[in-house]
């Protein structure tokens, strides 16, 4: 590692207050997301069941063992769920929380335990024949679906400025992504539409918070449609929505600093245009992982400039090549004057790799050299891996990283 990079990292480690940037932290516990306290008892019941069964999903031979070990907790909840499904006791939209649950892979794990199969079957049968408060049992076919859409629309019309005809057309033609998938794979069945609408109802508070925050932005032009469609087609469930909320809120907090750095010429016109374009796509289209990445990259960008005002950001999400059939982009480009030019790649350190941080990051650096470092070196750039803010690296591992002149890793502290 060269003298300048070592000095850079040492300075960052000594600084207790690199910036006043703060992020909204929301834990991943089932009852921690904004709006949970406003949910009905029925919704909380379905979420509790889903949470209990979650670690049994896709465990193959272990599924039966896991579900069996929790049977004493699961059975009473299933009984309570059945008690909630009395004739005329639920509205249509309330019943969609049960539909949401029955559509999940978690609910499917009940089949792995023989004694739970009858209860699962009874829930599905009861739901299919359930008499609702606000829908006549005489309705069927298109008239039934029209009534269902009307009731759905009534729930979201104050949140989402969409006409009922547009909404009806949208839900009738929704695409659907299987659990865990980020891309849709075909047209949604009506059961899938209902389940996803149940998920949307869980996310309502977060959707409103995102809408309120995003409308304040001076970096992109917000519309709600992308987020709503992501939820309705199952590509953004509640924890991805929470991630988008964190990103939108965090970027808003960074905005004054970012704009100031741009106005003071620490960010070039081309780089700033690219920042806005990336946010327009990834935030407005509600791509949760990409939104998180954008926030993380902007945190690093502003930190570098704060600590080293001789640095100028000259590129953001810069296209390096597309020889593999897809675009390969560099996260951030900096011109450091006498220090040289740097291509920044932000690289997370998984918890499971903490003990082997040096080996892991060296491997990641070597891979990034192949795709980004070597092509950019022809333009005079040095590749640097930058860890997300406040990443913890064991001291002995950090010493190994510092001693290795073949890699460059920077670490920032708030």
Q: Check residue 114 and give its pLDDT.
A: 95
H or E stretch including 319? Answer: strand 312-321
- In this prediction, residue 13 carries a pLDDT of 40
How does 200-217 read in b/e, with b if 16+ C-beta sit within 10 Å? bbbbbbbbebbbebbeeb
The predicted pLDDT at position 20 comes to: 34
Which has the closest alpha carbon to 35: 199, 185, 146? 199
Alpha-helical (H) ranges within 283-373 are 288-307, 357-368
What span, in angstroms and rounded, lies between the C-alpha atoms of 412 and 414?
7
* Rounded Cα–Cα distance for residues 242 and 95 (Å): 24
Structure tokens at 220: 């992109």
3-state secondary structure of 132: coil
Q: Report the alpha-carbon distance of residue 412 to residue 18 in Å, rounded.
A: 8
Cβ neighbours of 110 (radius 10 Å): 23
Task: Specify which residues 330 forms β-bridges with.
Answer: 318
Q: What does the alpha-carbon distance between residue 228 and residue 286 come to, in Å, rounded to a whole number? A: 9
Please give the pLDDT value at position 177: 82
Q: What is the pTM of this model?
A: 0.87
Question: Which residues have a Cβ under 8 Å from the Cβ of 393 and sit 6 or more positions away?
Answer: 349, 354, 357, 387, 401, 411
Question: What is the three-class DSSP state of 251?
Answer: helix
Which residue in 305, 318, 311 sits closest to 339, CA to CA?
A: 311
Helix (H) or strand (E) holding 244: helix 238-263
Proportion of the chain in helix, strand, coil states, percent, rounded to 5: 60, 10, 30
In the structure encoding, which two tokens stand for residue 341, read together? Answer: 């030019």
pLDDT at 8: 41
The CB-side HSE value for 357 (13 A sphere, CA atoms) comes to 23
- Report the pLDDT value the prediction gives residue 19, as an integer from 0 to 100: 34
CB atoms within 10 A of CB 278: 21
Write down the pLDDT at residue 182. 62
Low-confidence ranges of the chain (pLDDT < 70): 1-31, 179-182, 322-325
């Amino acid at each position: 590692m060269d003298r300048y990079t070592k000095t850079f990292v040492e300075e960052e480690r000594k600084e207790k207050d690199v910036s006043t940037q703060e992020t909204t932290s929301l834990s991943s516990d089932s009852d921690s997301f904004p709006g949970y306290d406003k949910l009905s008892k029925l919704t909380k019941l379905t979420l509790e069941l889903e949470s209990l069964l979650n670690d049994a999903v896709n465990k193959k031979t272990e599924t039966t063992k896991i579900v069996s070990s929790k049977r004493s907790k699961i059975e009473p909840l299933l009984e309570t769920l059945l008690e909630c499904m009395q004739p005329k006791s639920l509205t249509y939209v309330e019943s969609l929380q049960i539909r949401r649950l029955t559509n999940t892979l978690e609910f499917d794990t009940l089949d792995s335990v023989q004694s739970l199969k009858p209860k699962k079957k009874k829930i599905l049968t009861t739901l299919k024949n359930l008499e609702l408060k606000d829908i006549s049992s005489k309705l069927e076919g298109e008239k039934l679906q029209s009534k269902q859409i009307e009731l759905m629309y009534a729930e979201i019309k104050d949140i989402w400025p969409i006409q009922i005809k547009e909404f009806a057309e949208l839900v009738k033609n929704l695409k659907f992504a299987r659990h865990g998938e980020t891309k849709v794979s075909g047209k949604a069945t009506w059961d899938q539409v209902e389940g996803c609408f149940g998920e949307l109802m869980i996310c309502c508070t977060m959707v409103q918070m995102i809408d309120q925050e995003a409308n304040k932005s001076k970096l992109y032009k917000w519309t709600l449609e992308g987020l709503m469609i992501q939820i309705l087609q199952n590509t953004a469930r509640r924890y991805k929505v929470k991630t988008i909320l964190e990103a939108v809120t965090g970027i808003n907090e960074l905005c004054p600093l970012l704009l100031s750095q741009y106005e003071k010429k620490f960010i070039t016109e081309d780089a700033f245009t690219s920042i806005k374009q990336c946010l327009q796509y990834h935030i407005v289209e509600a791509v949760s992982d990409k939104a998180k990445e954008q926030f993380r990259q902007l945190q690093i960008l502003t930190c570098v400039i704060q600590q080293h005002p001789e640095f100028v950001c000259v590129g953001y999400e810069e296209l390096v090549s597309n020889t593999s059939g897809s675009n390969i982009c560099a996260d951030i480009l900096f011109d450091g004057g006498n220090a040289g030019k740097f291509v920044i790649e932000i690289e997370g350190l998984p918890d499971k790799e903490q003990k082997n941080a040096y080996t892991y990051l060296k491997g990641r650096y070597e891979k990034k050299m192949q795709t980004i470092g070597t092509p950019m070196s022809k333009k005079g750039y040095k590749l640097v891996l930058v860890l997300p803010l406040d990443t913890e690296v064991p001291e002995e591992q950090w010493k190994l990283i510092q001693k290795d002149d073949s890699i460059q890793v920077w670490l920032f502290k708030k």
